Chains A and B, each alone.
Chain A
Amino acid sequence: MERLQSSVVRTPPNSTVVQRRSKSYRQSYRSCLGAPSRLGLTPGLTARRLNSSRRALKSHVITEKVNPEHLALLVKTEWRLSYVTPLHQFRHTQLKRYSRQLSAFIAAEKQQGVAMEVEGSQSGFRVSFSVVQGLAATDDDAETVLIQIYSTPVFARQDEPQKSVWSGWLTCINGNPEYLESLPKGFTCLPLFGGSGAEVLTSLVKSWFQRTFDCCFGPLEINHTSLQWLAALWTNCHTESNLQHLKMIWTLPVVPPLQVTYTVNPQDAWELWMSVRKDRLERTEEEAEAGSIDIEEVVRFVQGLKSHFYRHFRLDLSAGNLNQVSTTLGSAKSSGKIKISNSRYMITTLTLLTECALLKMPI
């Protein structure tokens, strides 16, 4: 969990805050999934960390529902992800006040001597909070909040467009409904945070959120299961949008480290994926299952790719770490960076990431 040293007197330290919250929660996220105990480690859960099956990637045409400017910003940037615990007393109606407060906070920190790498040491910052309407998938999801920080140079002309030096968003897409309903009143759950821009501004924004809404931020890595899901989900879309390639990057733990970039022709990858799906669809005869994808299929797909590799090079890629998956639809890195290049698949990708964030939260 991230904490910033600050000379301002703070509200009670973290541990008691967590304590208080866990008493008031009626149900923790893990208990929703049927874990035996809330207190101890739940090793049995790791076999089912993520949803073992999910609805197939439907391309949601969200361009009509969402403000095109917001969409353009979301699509062209690579975001660094974190998870966020639920926010206390966050109101979507108070965004103007939050903008002013955050601006003041950043100015105060700068006054205290926190170094800002942003160009133009004379410039101030203007913060803007806005709601991105149209992304929320269910009624339980809170609306996505977009934060942008513009630099206001001291000698700016009236008509000069302000340069955006940092952007970030908080979102919850298709969050687990049981968990969301179990939250006590007064808490808003926006578990997924993405930021792009100077690192010092990211930490300032997080620090402000932490003190204003009593929440915690933490780094969200994308583990190899999620990366495999993304590889399969994106490959599934090849007929609708040309992938151009399916690229995976592994790192093998030798000295010096060996990086393997495995780029597959999209048509061939798609045929392999379809062959894996066909086997499974033949076995289950239910129609309702046809729309959803199982983790087994994903694993078999990636296993097929690995065994083709092994046949030629006698190197088992499982010995290494999957670091990155990218196609023209987007790219995901295990360090927690995501880029969604096509707005049609934003909802489904964000659903997967929301799930990861909810699972990583330490409650």
Chain B
Amino acid sequence: MDDSARRLLQRIMRRIPAQMLKPTLDKWGRLTAAQRQSMDFTESKWALTEKLLAICEENEMTVKHITELEMIHVIENPDHCMWYALQLMDPEEDVHSVELTQFKEQFKSHLRELIRHVSIKIKKHTDEAVWIRIAWGDSFSRPNHLKPTYVVHHLQTPYVFVTSLTSKLKPLLSQALVLSTRYQAIKDASLSGRKLTAIRDLLMRQYQQVFPTKYPSPLAENDQNASNILINKEQAELAASRHQKACEAFGDGMLPQLQSAVYKLETKFRDHTNKTMTEREEAFRCVVKFASTNLLESLRHCASSGIASTPGTSLLSSIPLKGRNYFVITDNSPGPSSQTRQPSN
């Protein structure tokens, strides 16, 4: 086992939390029964790492086998790196006929044409997602397994999620993806976050949505607290209508756990009390960042408690509507309510 494999294994062992070690190793399935018995999982992680290194030496494992272990761990716990969403554009006619084996072969061959030394591992996960691990090298050096890029693509959708990717390598990956999925272009979806499940649910609208209805009474049954009967009577209808509008804008029930949203504003300052600034030609530049442990839930609560008025037309509702969390707003771009996303099919 060479040095790079050893270092990779040490790094993976550092990353895997102690309680996940046994299930991950079992899933990996590369240890014999006797070897598995010999690993005492009550020892310190350092001791376990040494033991595992010895076992891997015994089995004459290579980097290829170790990367399998890393991939298993990342698929189980995707939430420790930053994920960026990309969207494929302009599908060709035969986009629907792309299926797994075809995609795999095409992707590998295209990427290998573009860059000589690259190590690709593709795995289909249970929930229709294809996971790809790429270790990049260049014309002179072998692939660097310590800085891999992970790509997740849901077949039959135009969405791709990637982790750490330098700007030099991005065009290569984009090209390979476009060619193997039968689309014509790929663009940045302006959505990023740590929780892969959250940004995936947001983009693919896999959370409970609420549609505008004329009669808000069905939701009025979600009543909060019956502290003061008189106040409740007065406020009940208003509160119910606010709650309905908040859910229409942001969704109902459990929402994807997005952590932040950034708006870069370059619009003109308009305030009727301040004539000087309103007459100013240049834009008023500022950047607003919203952060919370669960951003969408905070925003929904703002809307239902009245802190935010008219949630449906504000820029904040663009987050779930367009599935993005980075926006650049200028005076020329269309307002938030005039543009809706095409549902993916």
Residues of B with C-beta under 8 A to A263: 286-289
Minimum C-beta distance from B241 to chain A (A): 16
Residues of A with C-beta under 8 A to B295: 258
Does any Cβ of A come within 8 Å of B103's Cβ? no
Tell me whether B314 and A259 are in contact (CB under 8 A).
Answer: no
Q: Across the two chains, which residue of chain A brings its CB closest to B280?
A: A271
CB contact under 8 A between A278 and B307, given known A255-B297, A315-B302: no
CB contact under 8 A between A260 and B288, given known A312-B263, A314-B311: yes
CA distance A279 to B294 in the complex (A): 42
CB-contact partner of A254 in B263, B287, B288, B305, under 8 A: B305
Does any Cβ of B come within 8 Å of A22's Cβ? no
Tell me whether A268 and B284 are in contact (CB under 8 A).
Answer: yes
CB contact under 8 A between A256 and B298, given known A268-B284, A268-B285: yes
Does any Cβ of B come within 8 Å of A257's Cβ? yes
Does any Cβ of A come within 8 Å of B291's Cβ? yes
Residues of B with C-beta under 8 A to A300: 273-274
CB-contact partner of B277 in A264, A271, A312, A320, under 8 A: A271
Does any Cβ of B come within 8 Å of A304's Cβ? yes
Tell me whether B298 and A314 are in contact (CB under 8 A).
Answer: no
Q: Across the two chains, which residue of chain B brings its CB closest to A245?
A: B287
Does any Cβ of B come within 8 Å of A308's Cβ? yes
Residues of A with C-beta under 8 A to B313: 314
CA distance A278 to B274 in the complex (A): 10
Does any Cβ of A come within 8 Å of B329's Cβ? yes
Tell me whether A313 and B289 are in contact (CB under 8 A).
Answer: no
CB-contact partner of B302 in A252, A262, A265, A272, under 8 A: A252
Tell me whether B308 and A314 are in contact (CB under 8 A).
Answer: yes
Does any Cβ of B come within 8 Å of A350's Cβ? no
Tell me whether A313 and B274 are in contact (CB under 8 A).
Answer: no
Tell me whether B316 and A308 are in contact (CB under 8 A).
Answer: no
B274, B298, B308, B329: most-surrounded residue (chain A CB, <10 A): B274
Residues of B with C-beta under 8 A to A275: 274, 276-277
Does any Cβ of A come within 8 Å of B92's Cβ? no
Tell me whether B292 and A304 are in contact (CB under 8 A).
Answer: no
Interface footprint category on B: 35 or more
Minimum C-beta distance from A300 to chain B (A): 8
Does any Cβ of A come within 8 Å of B19's Cβ? no
CA distance A13 to B313 in the complex (A): 61
Does any Cβ of A come within 8 Å of B309's Cβ? yes
Residues of B with C-beta under 8 A to A260: 288-291
Q: Across the two chains, which residue of chain A brings its CB closest to B263?
A: A312
- Report A217-255 residues with CB < 8 Å from chain B CB: 252, 254-255
Tell me whether B307 and A259 are in contact (CB under 8 A).
Answer: no
Residues of A with C-beta under 8 A to B276: 275, 278-279
- Report B253-289 residues with CB < 8 Å from chain A CB: 263, 265, 267, 269-271, 273-274, 276-277, 280, 282, 284-289
Q: Across the two chains, which residue of chain A brings its CB closest to B293?
A: A256
Minimum C-beta distance from B112 to chain A (A): 44
Residues of A with C-beta under 8 A to B315: 312-313
Residues of B with C-beta under 8 A to A307: 271
Does any Cβ of B come within 8 Å of A316's Cβ? yes
Tell me whether A252 and B314 are in contact (CB under 8 A).
Answer: no
CA distance A307 to B267 in the complex (A): 13
Minimum C-beta distance from B61 to chain A (A): 43
Residues of B with C-beta under 8 A to A309: 288
Tell me whether B314 and A313 are in contact (CB under 8 A).
Answer: yes
Tell me whether A255 and B301 are in contact (CB under 8 A).
Answer: yes
Residues of A with C-beta under 8 A to B305: 254
CA distance A261 to B265 in the complex (A): 13
Tell me whether A261 and B289 are in contact (CB under 8 A).
Answer: yes
Tell me whether B316 and A315 are in contact (CB under 8 A).
Answer: yes
Minimum C-beta distance from B259 to chain A (A): 11
Residues of A with C-beta under 8 A to B309: 314, 316
CA distance A257 to B291 in the complex (A): 9
A254, A261, A262: most-surrounded residue (chain B CB, <10 A): A254
Q: 6 shortest A-B CB distances, which residue pairs?
A: A275-B276, A265-B285, A258-B298, A254-B301, A314-B314, A261-B289
The chain A residues found within 8 Å of chain B, CB to CB, are: 252, 254-265, 268, 271-272, 275-276, 278-279, 300, 304, 307-309, 311-316, 319-320
A-B contact pairs, 5 of them (CB 8 A): A256-B294, A258-B298, A258-B299, A264-B284, A313-B316
